[in-house]
């Protein structure tokens, strides 16, 4: 089975972005990072994909919007993240 396509929109110095990436790294998940520091055009494109959310990080698995740092950690606590990544 092909690996899931995981995308994360970040700012390089954002502590929540770093935490979300650390969680993905701890699971051995490969992901594509879009560092959009100060890039309003990229942030607007991200907001279109998220239904208006402009905060970072924003995480997608196979094109499905998962949410931000708190959301991905909540999924992990409930045991729902691993099946999404499997």
Q: Quick check: is 1 in a domain?
A: no
In this predicted structure, what is the pLDDT of residue 39?
95
Q: Quick check: is 55 in a domain?
A: yes
Quick one: how many helices (H) and strands (E) in the chain? 4, 4
Handedness of CA 70, 85, 64, 43 (dihedral sign): positive
Q: Tell me the pTM.
A: 0.93
What does the mean pLDDT of the chain come to? 95
Q: Look at the chain and report how many structural domains it folds into.
A: 1
CATH number at residue 51: 3.40.30.10
Average pLDDT rounded to a whole number, residues 15-27: 98
Distance CA 9, CA 49 (A): 11
CB-based contact 72:22 (threshold 8 Å): no
Q: Which residues constitute the domain of residue 81?
A: 6-85
Q: Quick check: is 75 in a domain?
A: yes
Percent of the chain with pLDDT over 90: 94
pLDDT in tens, 30-84: 999 999 999 999 999 999 999 999 999 999 999 999 999 999 999 999 999 999 9
Q: Quick check: is 47 in a domain?
A: yes
Q: Quick check: is 71 in a domain?
A: yes
């Amino acid at each position: 089975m092909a690996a899931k396509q995981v995308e994360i929109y970040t700012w390089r110095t954002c502590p929540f972005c770093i935490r979300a990436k650390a969680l993905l790294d701890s699971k051995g998940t490969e992901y594509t990072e879009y560092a959009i520091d100060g890039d309003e055009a990229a942030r607007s494109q991200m907001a279109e994909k998220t239904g208006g959310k402009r905060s970072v990080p924003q995480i997608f698995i196979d094109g499905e919007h998962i949410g931000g740092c708190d959301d991905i950690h909540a999924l992990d606590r409930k045991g729902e993240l691993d099946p999404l990544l499997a």
